[in-house]
Amino acid sequence: MKTYIMRKLLSAGLSLLCCYGALSQEISRDNALHSRIEANTANAVNANWPFRFGGPFYSHIFIDKIYADSDVIIPCQSVFDVQIAARLGFKVIEANVHETATPGKYIVMHGVRGRLGDQVTRLDGSSAADVVIRETPFDELMTQFVYRSKYAKYRTRITSLEEFLVECRRNNIAPMVSHIDKAQVEFVRSIMGNNFILYWGGRDEFDGPILEYWDYRTKEQILGRCRYMGPPYMYCMGNTRAFTDEQLEDICREVHKLGCHIGFAGCYENPAQSEKLLGLGFDFSASGWDINEIESGNLCNLTADLVFADFKTNGKVEDCVLILEHGQTISPRVRLKSEFLSGGSLHIHFKGRIHVKMGDYIDHDYESDGSRSTWISTYFMEQATVFEITAVGHAEVMSMTYRASKM
């Protein structure tokens, strides 16, 4: 009996030791995670990493110009794209990196499911859409294909990763580089230092800002990923319409408490939805047309506070408020001519529903209860930098500003 009791006590003691050991390991892991989160949070707050400056938008423009029926001027993710993005005021540009059949050699282009797609053609003008990038030697990619463009000077060869990064350095813009492997990350670091964002990848390779694109269905999953990665971390939500506005506001608050950032791919949303999401607390967006704020326009700086003399309208001003009935309009009074590259930024505080036509991409209804202003911006290419607002039903405009610049 005594022997039996001793065995039981010994077994219980061993179990307790095992549990204590497991608990200690768990505590140690948690402490290490919290230490890393605290250290990285301090870095994110104090460091000069891109999304603390320049506004919410990073450049993913010209993504709609990679298809066969698109009218291309600037090839997407070429060195020309880097230059245009910098001129438009972006501080970050996306770089979709592809490995080639030549070890250690990479190109930058969006592509279509790992193929060249219709962004380029062969030298004789024939289609290169089905060419698999990773199965094609680097030298062949550099010599046998050219970009499509309406202008001959942009029909150059494909851009290598090295060329893209060097152009980013020259234009003081940080690349958001899609992850291939550790060797590629080290190559990027050899040119950019730590001044880049890693698109995918792990903390064993990079302790700077990492962006991931997920469509998690619950707040708990999103916060769990943020805790796992630790800041500086950028959660890009691919399914914003799966949540209510109230849920999205709550998710944004909780992500911020962890020292992380949350964004969405605005290039795949409509302009009104993008504007709403930023108002709900999202930090960043992959821009297909939006540009960051123009502090002072070199083409015009129009304002309307008590009077609306800077704008042309068939509405009526009453008590310093512009009243628009259905179908009535407002547009810039100044005459703006077509420019190769320009940008416009419109802030309007209104109540009701309006339709905004502005450039190639903004042709949408916006609705407001008057509790906050609405911000709409876009780049223009080979167009006059103008807009027109049309009332959809009764609308009241309390104030507005419009800044436009030749870039």
Per residue in 82-106, pLDDT (tens digit) is 999 999 999 999 999 999 999 999 9
pLDDT in tens, 274-301: 999 999 999 999 999 999 999 999 999 9
> Mean of the per-residue pLDDT values for the chain?
90
The pLDDT value given to residue 8:
46
Please give the structure tokens belonging to residue 372. 């906050």
Neighbours of 170 (CB within 10 A): 12
Please give the structure tokens belonging to residue 228. 């796992």
pLDDT at 30 > cutoff 50: no
pLDDT at 49 > cutoff 90: no
Average pLDDT on 128-137 reads 98
Neighbours of 99 (CB within 10 A): 19
Judge if 50-287 and 300-406 fold alike in CATH terms. no
pLDDT band at 51 (very low <50, low <70, confident <90, very high): low
The pLDDT value given to residue 53:
54
pLDDT in tens, 153-164: 999 999 999 999
Which homologous superfamily is 50-287 in? Phosphatidylinositol (PI) phosphodiesterase (3.20.20.190)
- Answer for the pair 234, 51: CB distance below 8 angstroms, yes or no: yes
- Answer for the pair 230, 207: CB distance below 8 angstroms, yes or no: no
Query: Is 309 exposed, middle or buried, given 0-12, 13-18 or 19+ CB atoms closer than 10 A?
Result: exposed
State which of 1-10, 24-33, 261-270 shows the largest mean pLDDT.
Answer: 261-270
Phi, psi (5° rounding) for residue 268? -110, 5
Which homologous superfamily is 300-406 in? Galactose-binding domain-like (2.60.120.260)
Ranges of beta strands (E only) in 221-272 are 233-237, 261-264
Average pLDDT on 50-56 reads 67
Distance of alpha carbon 175 from alpha carbon 323, whole angstroms: 45
b/e 23-58 (16+ beta carbons within 10 angstroms → b): eeeeeeeeeeeeeebeebbebbeeeebbbeebbbbb
Domain ranges of the chain: 50-287, 300-406
The pLDDT value given to residue 95:
98
